[in-house]
Amino acid sequence: MPQGFFLTFEGLDGSGKSTQLRKLAQWLEARGEPFLVTRQPGGTRIGDRIRALLLDSRTEALSPMAELGLMFSDRAQSIAEVIRPALDAGQIVLCDRYTDSTEAYQGGGRQLGSEIVRQLHEVMCGGLDPDLTLLLLPDFRRSLERARRRNHRAVTQSAKDEGRFESEDESFYRRVFDQYCEIARREPLRVVAIESDEEIERIHERIVSIVEARLAHRA
């Protein structure tokens, strides 16, 4: 049986990572690779409830530590229910956000620091690290504007309100961005940073060549 492969996508809200994840999934499908797509927070029934609590902008006065704990509770459920079984069955797991998001948003953005996030990762995730992380880092300001536009559309066009993070100020997002850069510097083998404002198709091609090379190594 082929070994599973754990691939995560990371980046600021509005960085285009979800679009790239979808395109990569289509590419894997066309190649006939067994794969599964999930996201955090969410991706399980329990996780979807945690997600609603975390992202709803009506959730007020959630302490940063409680937020941190909920992110890891969601992740532990996702590992137990989705990620671990899929990897054990030899599948490629594409996950939209994982522990790097917690280090960037709660560690950096909320200023809880990296250390506590790394410690919780060891305990709550059994140290399960991705085989590869694609970190999309287009221009900071463009990401921010896209995220705000998207959130405004979502709030006005549907009943779903997932804007609690998008309403944070620019300095919060600057810290998130800087923490992502720090993670990429610290773990150059696992994390491939794509600092690009090229068009969607060009970035997709770059991602495909990176993933193809890593998958070839897996066997």
Stretch touching ligand TYD by CB under 6 A, among 25-33, 96-104, 136-144, 181-189: 96-104
Q: Whole-angstrom Cα distance, residue 207 to residue 25?
A: 11
| Nearest to ligand TYD of 59, 196 (CB atom) | 59
- What mask of x and - would describe binding to ligand TYD in positions 16 to 55, judged by CB under 6 A? --x--------------------xxx-------------x
Q: If binding is defined by CB under 6 A, does position 10 make contact with ligand TYD?
A: no
Alpha helices in the chain (DSSP H): 17-31, 45-55, 64-78, 84-88, 99-102, 114-124, 140-157, 170-186, 200-218
In the bound complex, what is the minimum distance in angstroms from residue 176's beta carbon to ligand TYD?
8
| Nearest to ligand TYD of 173, 215 (CB atom) | 173
| Nearest to ligand TYD of 150, 214 (CB atom) | 150
Q: Whole-angstrom Cα distance, residue 36 to residue 103?
A: 24
- DSSP structure class, residue 109: I
| Nearest to ligand TYD of 96, 131 (CB atom) | 96
Q: What is the 3-state secondary structure (H, E, C) of 10-26?
A: EECCCCCHHHHHHHHHH
